[in-house]
Amino acid sequence: MTDTPFVTPAWLAAHLDAPGLVVVDGSYYLSTMGRDAEAEFREGHIPGAIRFDIDAVRDEGSDLPHMLPTPEVFAARVGEMGIGDGMQIVVYDGAGLFSAPRVWWTFETFGASDVSILEGGFPAWKAAGLPVEEGPARPRAKRSFTPRVDHSAVADLADVRRALETGSAQVVDARPADRFAGRAPEPRPGVRSGHMPGAYNVPFAEIVQDGRLADADTIRAALDRAGVDPSRPVITSCGSGVSAAILSLAFEKIGRPARSLYDGSWAEWGTRDDCPVETDDR
C-alpha cells in the first residue's frame, strides 16, 4: 500500500461544482511565519471554499493551542459551515502542505468518510492558472454532521509517557532539528527547549518538497536516518499537533499508518515540570 488521500488541482477544478463536494481552506501559520490566514483567504481562495480555522474549532476549555473540541462542538461547528454526513471534503492550505494534514486528520478522527488533500495546495492551484475568488466565504446551507470518533487516533500525555517508558510505540517528533535538540527556542513563550527522552526526530521539512509530500523512498530514507522502524507502532508529535499530521500522512503513504497523534504535543510536554526534557549540547 502506497496510497494517500490526494487530489490534483485539475481533478478538483473538474469537480468543483459537484453536488456533495465541499472545499475547505485549512490554512494556519505559526507566528514566526508572519502570515495571516484569514486575510489571505479574503484576498483570494478557491471558488466556493470555506474557512476552517483550527484556532476557532477547538477545545475552548484547554489552555493548549487548537486541541480537538468535543464531538458535539465539532459537529455543531462544521454543520454550521455546511459540512454534513456523506459529503466529499477536499482540504488545502496556503503553504502547499503544512496545516491541511491536521484538518484532514481532524475530520477523519471525527468520522468523516471521504476526506482528501489538494496536492500542492493553493500555490499549485494558482500556478495552474485556475480561478480564484475574493472576499469572505459564501454562506452555505446548514447540514447535519454525525460524529463517530476514532479515539485510538488521538494520544494523550499518559499514552505518550507509557510509550516512552515501555517502548510500546515510537514517539516521532516533526519539529525542526534545532528545536528538537534544544539549540533553538520554541516559538511559544514559556515552553522549554529540547525533546522527550527516547523520542525520534523526523523534521517535517525533510518529507515536504515544493509544497508536496515527498515520494515513498524519500520518506523511508528520512525515517531510516532518524532510526525509526516503520514496522513498529508510532505516535506522531510536533510543537502543537499540526506538523505531526504531516508525519501521519507520510506513514500512510508508505503503508504503515501511525497508531495515533499526540494532540498536546510539545506545547503540553514542554510546559510541564513533571515531564522530563533532554537537549543535545553537541
Residue 240: alpha-carbon gap to chain centroid: 10
Residue 109: alpha-carbon gap to chain centroid: 12
d(CA 248, CA 238): 11
Given 23, 117, 191, 238, the catalytic residue: 238
- Specify whether the CB–CB gap between 88 and 114 falls below 8 A: yes
d(CA 140, CA 262): 33
Reading phi first (left if > 0) and then psi (alpha if -120 to 50, else beta), residue 199 is in beta
Cell 455543531 appears where? Answer: 76
- List for the chain the helix, strand, coil content (%; round to 5): 35, 15, 55
275 is catalytic: no
Helices 244-253, 100-109: inter-axial angle, 10-degree rounding: 70
d(CA 266, CA 273): 13
d(CA 25, CA 100): 8
Helix (H, G, I), strand (E, B) or coil at 25: strand
For 275, phi and psi rounded to 5 degrees? -110, 120
Task: Just list the catalytic residues.
Answer: 238
